[in-house]
């Protein structure tokens, strides 16, 4: 979170959930950041402006999802990343609720069939978790794989969506 270069105003709010506190941030352009607060460093970067009203739609949709009442999101997204990362993150939004795909399948979808490691790296740098559902990407052998926000959270989200996990 601290490595994000600040060239525009970011507005944020916190959302308490059963699986940890989420920090949600957006610019005038759209949603820039959704991730679990680091328990060792729960603060947000200097310069971010606390504005729950601006984040009301995003936090409401996240709350609905986490309560089982929403399967898709309708929010403007504006993640900062390389063109390849943004292509991967866009492809994540096309994975249906309750479904999983492998890193290899995701690499094929973004027209980089041998790039499953690069896809895994892009997945790990996803700045908008849950909404760009990187938790729905698993290893080819069906094992859960990694998750930058913690395996326990990935398992929680997949089980909540009805996906049986190992």
- Active-site residue list: 134
Output the CA–CA distances (angstroms, integers) from residue 92 to 8, 39, 46, 49, in the order listed. Answer: 26, 26, 30, 28
Among the residues of the chain, which ranges form H helices?
56-66, 83-92, 103-109, 116-124, 151-160
149: region left, alpha or beta (phi > 0 left; psi from -120 to 50 alpha): alpha
CA distance 16 to 23: 9
Q: Which residues pair with 50 in a beta bridge?
A: 12
């Amino acid at each position: 979170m601290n490595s994000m270069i600040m060239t525009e105003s970011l507005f944020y709010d916190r959302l308490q959930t059963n699986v940890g506190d989420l920090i949600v941030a957006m610019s005038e352009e759209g949603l820039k950041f959704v991730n679990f607060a680091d328990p060792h460093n729960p603060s947000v970067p200097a310069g971010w402006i606390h504005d729950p009203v601006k984040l009301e739609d995003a936090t409401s949709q996240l709350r609905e999802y986490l309560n089982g009442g929403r399967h898709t999101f309708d929010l403007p997204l504006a993640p900062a990343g390389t063109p390849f990362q943004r292509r991967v993150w866009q492809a994540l939004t096309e994975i249906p609720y309750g479904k999983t795909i492998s890193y290899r399948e995701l690499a094929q979808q973004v027209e980089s069939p041998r790039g499953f490691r690069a896809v895994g790296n892009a997945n790990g740098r996803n700045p908008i978790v849950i909404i760009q559902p990187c938790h729905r990407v698993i290893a080819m052998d069906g094992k859960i794989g990694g998750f930058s926000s913690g395996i326990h959270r990935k398992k929680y989200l997949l089980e909540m969506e009805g996906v049986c996990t190992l």
